[in-house]
Structure 1
Amino acid sequence: MSDWKAKRFWKEATVEQADEGFEVRLDGRPVKTPAKRSLILPTQAMAAVIAAEWDAQEGEIKPHLMPATKTANAALDKVVGQHAEVADMLADYGDSDLLCYRADRPAELVARQTALWDPMLEWAQQAFGVTLALRTGVMHQPQDAAVLAVLRQQTHALSAFELAAFHDLVSLSGSLVLGFAAARQARDVEALWDLSRLDEIWQAEQWGVDDEAEEMAAIKKASFLHANTMFTLCRAA
């Protein structure tokens, strides 16, 4: 087995305008994705962030320290060719959105869910003209097909780069509504993450903090915040 690892071979990472966007180049040579596609970014701001990741590499290349590059690679190598499938998968979260499934007890938890989650469903109603029905318990009950069709249309309207970032906003929070709220900067992104963990935060208050669970939650939060940054960079002027 070979222990060869890729090492830095370039002196400078730069951003150059290309026909379809902005390109990151290493000493003038364009960067390629793992699938050998040209790494063309939709905005100069996103390209600059990715170029900075490459410039920060020293010695052995460490892909885990290049999250923006990873997200861009996913957009080009995975989402571009499966846009409809990815959009459908994410839109399906609307049919079982976290914010719609409520506890029936204790009263304090019920009240907290009402106080913190209802405003987000009201935001969705104002933003998209849809009303998602509330459920008690965890058993799935389908939402109205017309409501889901509107949310599906909004999801399909996202570009491949937006969809790659949106994937983590939705899947990590368990909520299509919170994903859209983050993407549209409707609320502070850290507050939105806390809303997605309302039940876990409640449990920790009652029974104490589980260090292992909190460590995993911190990793997921970092990924959620990164996805939000990437979505914003997709639209940066």
Structure 2
Amino acid sequence: MTTWKQKRFWTAVSVTESAGRFAVELDGRSVKTPAKADLTLPTRAMAEAIAAEWRAQDGAVKPQTMPCTRSANAALDKVQVQHSEVADMLAEYGDADLLCYRADSPVELVQRQSEHWDPALDWAASELKVRLQTRCGIVHQPQDVKSLQSLRARVQALSAFQLAAFHDLVSMSGSLVLGFAAAAGWRSAAEIWSLSRLDETWQEEQWGPDEEAQAEAEIKRQAFLHAKRFYDFS
């Protein structure tokens, strides 16, 4: 059974501006989202990145090669219509943040977590005005309610486009703090991704790499790097 694929039907791709918003046009017709909403974008940089993806299509359209277009579609069709729910879901990561749950042994792993994760928590205390507390083991221990409320308010304040990117920064790293740190440019997205993979890297050092797991991790790493790029466009 063959699957129908959309083929390139346009010649020219352009970016237009109206009332401070931007659109991508194919032969003078505005691009729509899958839900048929106007693909209206907040910045020219984002619009130009999306236009470049449409220009690069040759023959059959390949959505997997259009990450900015897909992220913009998600922002408009999904995040914008349920902004509060998405923000609340991401804010919940603060109460079980990856950086807060530490090993109690071996000592080398304990030291590595402290050396690499404590600076991120220190950054959050300085820049986000929230000090999350660490604990040993995996049993959940709630964080301070006021701290969580402060973090939730910050997430709720993000635009739909920012939140679409922030979703991946947080969910893929497992850390609300690392999501904020990546968005703010505390360190490079690649460095922050490595911080989120500290435990997995330790396991690989002890037992050797798993090729399938590494391939999956690389896909997630690329998605994380894209999310930071898209956030910066917004």
Give the TM-score category using the shorter length.
over 0.9
Query: In the TM superposition, what is the alpha-carbon distance from 1:4 to its structure 2 partner?
Result: 2.8
Farther-moved stretch of structure 1 (84-93 vs 18-27): 18-27
- Per-residue CA distance 1:136-183 (angstroms, 9 max, x = gap): 111111111000000001100100000000000000000000000000
Letter in 1 for 2:173: S
Task: Give distance in 2, aligned partners of 1:140 and 1:13.
Answer: 51
Corresponding residue number in structure 1 for 2:195 = 195
Task: Give distance in 2, aligned partners of 1:111 and 1:221.
Answer: 25
Letter in 2 for 1:164: A
Structure 1: any 5+ residue segments left out of the alignment?
Answer: none
- Per-residue CA distance 1:29-85 (angstroms, 9 max, x = gap): 000000000001100000000000001001111111111000000000001110000
- Structure 1 length normalisation: TM-score? 0.97
- Per-residue CA distance 1:156-214 (angstroms, 9 max, x = gap): 01000000000000000000000000000011111100000000001111111111111
Corresponding residue number in structure 2 for 1:176 = 176
Number of residue-to-residue matches in the alignment: 234
Corresponding residue number in structure 2 for 1:83 = 83
SS of corresponding position for 1:17? strand
CA 1:27–1:150 in 2, change beyond 3 Å: closer, same or farther? Answer: same
Structure 1 segments of 4+ aligned residues over 4 angstroms from their partners: none
Task: Give distance in 1, aligned partners of 2:205 and 2:44.
Answer: 44
Pair 1:107 & 2:131 matched = no
- Structure 2 length normalisation: TM-score? 0.98
- Per-residue CA distance 1:71-101 (angstroms, 9 max, x = gap): 0000000011100000000000000000000
| Equivalent residue runs for 1:40-59 within 5 Å | 40-59=40-59
Contact (CA 8 Å) 1:182, 1:189: kept in 2 or not? yes
Contact (CA 8 Å) 1:204, 1:210: kept in 2 or not? yes
| Equivalent residue runs for 1:1-237 within 5 Å | 3-19=3-19, 21-234=21-234
Contact (CA 8 Å) 1:6, 1:60: kept in 2 or not? yes
Q: CA RMSD in A?
A: 0.9
SS of corresponding position for 1:16? strand
Task: Give distance in 2, aligned partners of 1:98 and 1:3.
Answer: 41
Structure 2: any 5+ residue segments left out of the alignment?
Answer: none
Query: In the TM superposition, what is the alpha-carbon distance from 1:135 to its structure 2 partner?
Result: 1.2
